[in-house]
Amino acid sequence: MSTIEATNLTKTFGSFTAVRNVDMSVGEGEVVCLLGPSGCGKTTTLRMIAGLESVTEGEVKIGGQVMNRLPPEKRDIAMVFQFYALYPSVSVGGNIEMPLFYLGLSAEERSREVARVAEILQLGEVLDRLPGQLSEGEKQRAAVARAIVRDPNCFLFDEPLSRLDVEQRHSMRGQIKEVLSGLSKATVIVTHDQMEALTMANRIAIMRDGMIEQIGTPHEVFSKPSNVFVAGFIGSPKMNLLDGRLSAVRDGMATIELGAGSMTFPVPEAASALGQSNLTIGIRPRALEPVDTPNERSLTGQVELIEPMGAETLVHVRDDDARDLRVVLPRERKVTPGEILHLACDLSQTHIFDDSGLAVR
């Protein structure tokens, strides 16, 4: 059974806690991405699952078996490293063959398997070369080939695409996704690139300071961020986060003071319970739409900077409280710097976070 379970996983280095009480489970055929800024503990978590780092507290189960004390070679896993970690003195073919060699397969079986994965990853022509003679893309494919040549219980990827250029990254993303979908194994991918996570993962675990902030499908973490950090981290351009104060909730309609202005809009019942308090409103840049006349759920500001992004245009609008609002407009909508915009927000994409940063739903 190909599953990974981490329960209450904790890792400390001296007095520094790198990973704190991480709980996650990866089902058969599921791809879970650990996403977070650098230093958030995602690689340490992965290395604990792999057995390359000892577990301070908690439990790692692979295929239902506790693995805490087993060395990596006994865990039946395959891992792709950030810098590929190909054996420099062995040819590409030899690199791919290595795991099979340790399994004790015959030379004939080994070369058959190597040929099979070389075909999948288009490495046939470079099998005789040394890793030093490969391009970045080929090294990446060789590293993936070495991981999939055996039939391991699960796959671990550490920043697999970080060294590739944009175009290669796109094509490898698709390729890895395709290869993984054909294998139906539990897979954990570590990345700091949210696009990578959103496109490749079935579920995303967003980490910060050694803790998982939220774990959910790409759709969930985008549309229902559980706190301010996740809201700001996921989505590009970044969500607008406005600090305000809830002054009153009447009949499900909340009035929120935002410095000079205020907004009134319907809020979920939970918000009524908050009473008067500070909160943060999160509005996606694509959820702001220019309207002709201001209303009770609109913000007003002056266009400051225009960044064309191709199909859309990112517009920075400075409002009366000197906040920088990011707004994404369709290409057809022309704006000029200095123009005054009234921006109405789409309530379905507007989030409220209480003063401790948690989402209010």
Partner 1 sequence: MSATDKKSLADRLGLKVHSGVGNAGWGRTVFAAVISFIYFFPVFWIILTAFKTHNDALAIPPKFIFTPTLENFVAVFSRAYSAGAAAQDTGFALYFFNSVFIAGTSVLLALAIGTLAAFGFSRYPLRGNDTYLFIILTTRMLPAIVVIIPIFLMFRVAGLSGTYIGVILLYTAFNLPFTIWMMKSFFDELSPDVEDAARIDGSSDRRVFFKICLPQVKAGLAATAVFGLILTWNEFLFALLLTGVDTRTVPVAMAQTIGGDIGVRWGLLAAIETLFLIPVIVVTFMLQNHLLRGVTFGTIKR
**Chain residues that interact with partner 1, rule: CB under 8 A:** 50-52, 71-73, 75, 77-79, 81-90, 98-99, 102-103, 146, 150
CB nearer to partner 1: pick between 153 and 227: 153
CB closer to partner 1, 100 vs 230 = 100
What minimum distance in Å lies between the beta carbon of 97 and partner 1?
A: 10
Q: Min. distance of Cβ 163 from partner 1 in angstroms? A: 12
- Nearer to partner 1 by Cβ, of 77 and 254: the residue is 77
- The smaller minimum CB distance to partner 1, of residues 49 and 271, is found at 49
Task: Count CA atoms closer than 13 A to 146's CA, side-chain side.
Answer: 29
The radius of gyration of the chain from alpha carbons, rounded to an integer in Å, stands at: 25
Measured from the Cβ of residue 124, the count of other Cβ atoms closer than 10 Å reads 11
Residue with smaller CB distance to partner 1, 96 or 205: 96
Q: Judged by CB, which is closer to partner 1: 160, or 235? A: 160
User: Do the Cβ atoms of 154 and 186 come closer than 8 Å?
Assistant: yes
Which value, to the nearest 10 degrees, does the dihedral of the CA atoms of residues 228, 34, 200, 61 take?
A: -130
Q: What's the min distance (Å) between Cβ of 98 and partner 1?
A: 5
Residue pointed to by tokens 């040394």: 130
Q: Nearest distance from residue 210's CB to partner 1, in Å?
A: 21
231's tokens? 């809201």
Q: Exposed (0-12), middle (13-18) or buried (19+): which is 356, by Cβ within 10 Å?
A: exposed
90: its two tokens: 């062995």
Structure tokens at 53: 């780092």
Residues pairing with 155 in the sheet: 78, 187
Contact 59, 66 (CB under 8 A): yes
Q: Measured from the CB of residue 86, what is the shortest distance to partner 1 in angstroms?
A: 7
In angstroms, give the least distance from the CB of 224 to partner 1.
36
Our CB check for partner 1 shows the closer of 62 and 329 to be 62
**How many Cβ atoms sit within 10 Å of the Cβ of residue 2?**
22
Task: Find the shortest distance in angstroms from Cβ 144 to partner 1.
Answer: 12
Interior CA angle at 194 toward 241 and 199, to 5°?
125
CB of 245 to partner 1, least distance (A): 50
Which residues touch 349 (CB under 8 Å, ≥6 apart)? 223, 283, 284, 286, 287
Q: Which is nearer to partner 1, 52 or 274 (CB)?
A: 52
Amino acid at site 270: A
Three-class DSSP category at 222: helix
CB nearer to partner 1: give 78 or 176.
78
DSSP 127-189: TTS-GGGS-HHHHHHHHHHHHHSS--SEEEEESTTTTS-HHHHHHHHHHHHHHHHTT--EEEE
Tell me which amino acid residue 43 is.
T
Tell me the closest approach of the beta carbon of residue 72 to partner 1, in angstroms.
4
